Amino acid sequence: MITIRAFVSSDLPEIVALLRAELPGHTISERDFVRKVLLDTNFDPEGALVSRDSDGCLSGFLLSITRNADSGDGVTDSHRGWITLFAVRSDFRRRSIGSQMFDRGESLLRSQGVSEIWISPYTPHYWTPGVDEAAYPGAIAFLNKRGYEVTSRPLSMAAELGEFWSVPEWAEQRERALSESFELNIEPISPSAVLPLIRFLDVEFPGDWPRHLRESISAIYSGYRQVADVHVAVSKGAVCGFSHSEGDRFGPFGVAEAQRGLGVGAVLLYRALESMYRRGSRRAWFMWTGDGPAKRVYAPTGFVETNRYSIMVKKLK
Predicted confidence (pLDDT) per residue in 83-113, tens digit: 999 999 999 888 899 999 999 999 999 999 9
Q: Please tell me the total count of domains within the chain.
A: 2
Tens of pLDDT, residue by residue over 289-313, are 999 999 999 999 999 999 999 999 9
Q: Are residues 119 and 185 in the same domain?
A: no
- In this structure, the answer to whether residues 266 and 181 fall within a common structural domain is yes
The average pLDDT across 199-207 equals 95
177 and 240 belong to one structural domain: yes
In a domain, 9, yes or no: yes
Amino acid letter for position 304: V
Does residue 306 lie in a domain region? no
Total number of residues shown for the chain: 317
Residues 101 and 186 in one domain: no
Residue 145: inside a domain, yes or no? no
Q: Which residue, 107, 127, 147, sits at the end of a domain?
A: 127
Domain membership flag for residue 88? yes
User: Helices marked H in 183-236 — which ranges?
Assistant: 191-204, 208-221
The pLDDT value recorded for residue 77 is 76
User: What percent of the chain shows pLDDT beyond 90?
Assistant: 89
Q: Which domain holds residue 76?
A: 2-127
In a domain, 288, yes or no: no
Q: What is the mean pLDDT of residues 41-49?
A: 96
Global pTM?
A: 0.90
DSSP 8-state class, residue 190 = -
16 and 70: one domain?
yes
Distance separating alpha carbons of residues 166 and 274, to the nearest angstrom:
7
> What is the pLDDT, as a whole number, of residue 205?
96
pLDDT tens-digit readout, 209-258: 999 999 999 999 999 999 999 999 999 999 999 999 999 999 999 999 99
The rounded mean pLDDT for the chain is: 94
Q: Are residues 258 and 172 in the same domain?
A: yes
| Same domain as 182, residue 105 | no
Q: Is the pLDDT of residue 74 over 90?
A: no
Let me know if residue 220 belongs to a domain: yes
Residues 185 and 111 in one domain: no
Q: Are strands 116-119 and 249-255 parallel, antiparallel or unpaired?
A: unpaired
The pLDDT value recorded for residue 69 is: 59
Task: Classify residue 81: in a domain, yes or no.
Answer: yes
Residues 274 and 189 in one domain: yes
Long-range contacts made by residues 101-104, C-beta under 8 angstroms, separation at least 24? 101/4, 101/49, 101/51, 101/60, 101/62, 102/62, 102/146, 104/4, 104/49, 104/62
The CA distances from residue 49 to 12, 88, 98, 106, 233, in Å, are 12, 12, 11, 11, 45
pLDDT, residue 78, reads: 76
* Contact by Cβ (8 Å): 95, 2: yes
Q: What is the mean pLDDT of residues 49-78?
A: 82
Q: Is 261 found in the same domain as 170? A: yes
At 201, the pLDDT band (50, 70, 90 cuts) reads very high
Closest CA to 248 of 40, 36, 21, 27: 27
* Statement: residue 72 has pLDDT above 70: no
Dihedral angle sign, alpha carbons of residues 192, 251, 173, 200:
negative
Helices of type H across the chain: 12-22, 30-33, 97-111, 137-145, 169-182, 191-204, 208-221, 264-278, 291-293
Q: Look at residue 71 and tell me whether its pLDDT is greater than 60.
A: no
CATH number at residue 39: 3.40.630.30
Q: What is the identity of the amino acid at 238? A: A
Mean pLDDT of 56-83: 81
Q: Does 123 lie in the same domain as 6? A: yes
Q: Are residues 56 and 118 in the same domain?
A: yes
**Domain-embedded: residue 150:** no
State percent of the chain over pLDDT 70: 97
Among 81, 110, 127, the domain-final residue is 127
Strand partners, 315: 116
Give the end of a domain, one of 111, 127, 143.
Answer: 127
Query: Rounded to an integer, what distance in angstroms lies between the CA atom of residue 239 and that of residue 245?
Result: 18
Closest CA to 171 of 270, 103, 102, 94: 270
Residues 6+ apart with CB under 8 A from 148: 117, 119, 312, 313, 314
Q: Predicted confidence band at 207 (pLDDT cuts at 50, 70, 90)?
A: confident
